[in-house]
Every structure is written in structure tokens, then in C-alpha cells.
Amino acid sequence: MLRPRRFPALIALATLTAIAWGGCKLDNFGTAADVPDSGVVDSSQPEETSVGQDGSDVSVIEARDDEPAAPDAADDVPQDDAQADAEPEVGADADADTVDAKCPANKDDCDGNGTCEASLKDDPANCGACGHDCLGSECLQGMCKPLLVADGLQSPNGIAVNAKWLVWTNYYGGTVYKAPLPLSTPSGATLLSISTGGPGAIVIDDVNTYWAESDVGTVMQVLTEVGGLPTYLAVGLDRPAGLAQDATSVYVSTRGTVTSLSEIKRIPKSGGTAIAIASDAAGASGLAIDAASVYWANSTTGVIWKAPLDLSGTPTQLAAGQASPLGVAVDNVSVYWTSSSAAVVMKVPKAGGTATKLSTGMNPTAGIVVDGAFAWFAETTSGSIRRVSTQGGPYQTIVYGALSPLNLAIDSKLVYWTNWNQGSVMAVAR
């Protein structure tokens, strides 16, 4: 993979002088059908990182130089499960129990008047199931059509959301963007800040946006409302990958090298020295936290780890022998992760126990978020956004053919994602 674009200090300052912050807009909000092919042919897979959105449950993938090129989607499709390769049938994601047995296929009595008035195939207020609103988008074949937030980007990577803003990093472009919520037409996406070395994982709180820069070993911050030149939150990190946050600190995983260990560090948001929480063999990637512990995956050793935030104990191995674990997310009970090679979504109790598969038959998985009821995940090779119950069972396809989805963020209404190869950011109604 080519090295990311560099932004030397003088060029960066000249760029900032020429830009009116908040005025450089990407007014390309539309539907998925409007997304042009960017012409990007680099299919290299980025490296997994983690990002906390409104907390810590969003996984992010950061570009790396040593990752092999992504295999063709056809090579990744399990031969024993056509569902992972074929476009879902109309209404395939609807719970069969929600469809009135007296209604014909793709119809339902959503208003309760006994007339089977709703067309689950194309009704944007009842898309695929009664009450599933596409929030202004079309309903096509029982699935809401994705909305285009921004395009013309250069390998968009990490993504995070809070109540007011959607933010994302633009890896090869060396930039960070924001779009106000709720989304509108056009989206009003604007340049938030610049990066000096491969912006990847990103988190946002009520005041600031924070992101990791893997090429130069820093974590940066900027006021979300104002934007402009970022300031350093931490420097001297060895390939920072995953990010998570709580009210007072930002947590970062570093990948390390063949001659150095990975580390999990806590950085005060108010500034100060980064404190090491744990160390691991080189290869730490996905990262998430809860009130008491930090959790991470090591994509090289195949281990899922847990360590106390207060430094009161040593790291605990929750699962071993996992195939290339990438994204990590947590809820009140379990830790979840994706795999770049085994085409599964896994979980293990946070208290320890047996690791189990939530579902099978999909393609290799990338970013992951959880909301308590579902684990939502991206499949970069098949271009799908899917979800599966946190209790396990068949997965549901939310978006099919979504270009190259990489990392996810979620709020109460929408799922957002970055398309690494095609240079776009999209959203779809939950």
C-alpha cells in the first residue's frame, strides 16, 4: 500500500491560512445510487483500531503498510452458505412473526385495520417490517436505501457520533471532517481539522474531537464546534491504533513493532503524561472500555484481553486461539469481536467463560458496534452492513452492496459507516 500523504508543518499552515473553517463543504448528501466510483483501485485492507462513540463501543480500522491486499469477495464467500453472497430477498430481514398470516407476501396490516395496507417491499414508513421508517430515504426490496453523507474523500477511516455531530477521519487526505446532526440535504459536511500523519481512530465528546495518527505516533484534539489547528494530547506513541474514552480520559492501544510491545495507555483529557495500563505482544488492535475495565484484541496472537482501568490487577485472557480478531465492542454482559479471516462474529462473557459464535455464513468482518440488542458489523468484501442478535441466531442484512464499508458508528436512529476504497461516508435508518 502507498504511504499516506504527508502534510509538513509549513504546508499545513499555508493550507489553514487559505481555508475558512466550517466553510469548506462537501455538499453531496444523497442516496447510494448517487455515489460515483472514485476510481480507487487500492484494495489493501486497513489495520484494526477501535473508537468509542459516546463511550467506547465502536471499532475502527486504521490503514497500515504491512497488510496484504484484500482478497476478492468471491474468494471470501463461504461455499456452504449462499446467503452471504446473494442479495437478500424482499423483506428477508423482517421477523416472520410480525407479518400477519392473513396478508400476502410482502404485505402487512401495520395500522391494525385488517386491510393489509402496507407494502413491506417499498413503503418507506414500513420497510421490511411494520414501523421500520427509512427517515426520508426510499424503501427498495424491503431495505432502506442508504444516504450519502459525503464523497470525494481519500480513504475515509474512523467514524464517531454524538448528539450534535458526526465526525470521521480521511486517512490519505490527512484531514478530519464533521457533519451536523440531524443530517440534512445537503449534509453540510465541513473540514474540521488537518492531520500530519495518517488519521485513523476517532472519538468525540461534548466538547472535543480526538483522533490517533499512526504514522507520527500522536493523539490529537480539536474543539468540535470551532475546528482549526489541532493540539497534541499525546506524542511518542508506537503506532497508535485503537481509541476509547470516558468522561476524563482517552484510552489508546499501540500496535508496537517486531522489537517493541503493544501498550494500552490512559491519557488525561486535561493534558499530562500517558499512563500505561497494560502491555501485550505486538499486534494490539480493537479497543473498548466500560466503567471498570479496558478490553482489546491482538490480531497477531489471536487473544482477547481484559485489564482493570485502576491498575489494581494484571491483564486477564478472556479468549485465545481466535482467528485475526479485529473490531471490539462491549455491552453490560459481553465482549464482542470481528474476524478478518474466519468470517464470524464472536462473544465471550466479560466475567470470563466460553467464547461463542453469534452467527456464521457471512464474509470476513471488520468494524463492529453494539446497542444491547444487536451487534452491527461491516463486511468490506461483500459490501454489506449486517446485524445479529447479541443472543445469537441468523444475521440480518441492513444494506447490501454498500461499496467497501469499514468502520461503523451508531445512534438511536441511524447507522453510519466509512467506505474505504470508494471514498465516501454513508448512513442508513436502523
Mean pLDDT of 35-54: 40
Residue 426 reports pLDDT greater than 90: yes
| Residue-level pLDDT at 101 | 62
Q: For residue range 118-170, what is the model confidence (pLDDT) as tens digits?
A: 999 999 999 999 999 999 999 999 999 999 999 999 999 999 999 999 999 99
Residue 205 reports pLDDT greater than 80: yes
Rounded Cα–Cα distance for residues 153 and 418 (Å):
10
> Could you tell me if 196 and 214 are in contact, meaning their C-beta atoms sit under 8 angstroms apart?
no
Q: What is the pTM of this model?
A: 0.81
Q: How far is CA 273 from the centre of its chain?
A: 28
| Residue-level pLDDT at 185 | 79
User: Any bridge partners for residue 341, and if so which?
Assistant: none
Q: For residue range 376-421, what is the model confidence (pLDDT) as tens digits?
A: 999 988 999 999 999 999 999 999 887 899 999 999 999 999 999 9
Q: For residue range 206-247, what is the model confidence (pLDDT) as tens digits?
A: 999 999 999 999 999 999 999 999 999 999 999 999 999 999
Percentage above 90 pLDDT, the chain: 67
- β-pairing verdict for 231-234 and 218-223: antiparallel
Q: For residue range 87-111, what is the model confidence (pLDDT) as tens digits?
A: 444 344 444 444 556 899 999 999 9
Q: What is the CA radius of gyration of the chain?
A: 21
Domains and CATH numbers, the chain: 50-83+142-429 (2.120.10.30)
| Residue-level pLDDT at 258 | 74
| Residue-level pLDDT at 99 | 52
Rounded Cα–Cα distance for residues 182 and 303 (Å):
39
Confidence at 186, pLDDT banded by 50, 70, 90: confident
Any idea which of 39-43, 180-184, 200-204, 353-357 has the lowest mean pLDDT?
A: 39-43
Rounded to the nearest integer, the mean pLDDT of the chain is 82
| Residue-level pLDDT at 237 | 95
- Mapped onto helix, strand or coil, the DSSP state of residue 257 is strand
Q: For residue range 340-381, what is the model confidence (pLDDT) as tens digits?
A: 888 899 999 999 999 999 988 788 899 999 998 999 999 988
Residue 47 reports pLDDT greater than 80: no
The length of the chain in residues reads 430
Which range has the top average pLDDT, 37-41, 61-65, 87-91, 396-400? Answer: 396-400
For the chain, the distance separating the N- and C-terminal CA atoms, rounded to the nearest angstrom, is: 34
Burial status of residue 124 (CB atoms within 10 A of its CB: 0-12, 13-18, 19 or more): middle
| Residue-level pLDDT at 82 | 40
Confidence at 38, pLDDT banded by 50, 70, 90: very low
Residue 59 reports pLDDT greater than 90: no
Residue 282 reports pLDDT greater than 50: yes
Four-residue CA torsion sign, 19, 20, 22, 23:
negative
Q: For residue range 304-333, what is the model confidence (pLDDT) as tens digits?
A: 999 999 999 999 999 999 999 999 999 999
| Residue-level pLDDT at 5 | 38
> Could you tell me if 375 and 385 are in contact, meaning their C-beta atoms sit under 8 angstroms apart?
no
- Mapped onto helix, strand or coil, the DSSP state of residue 14 is helix
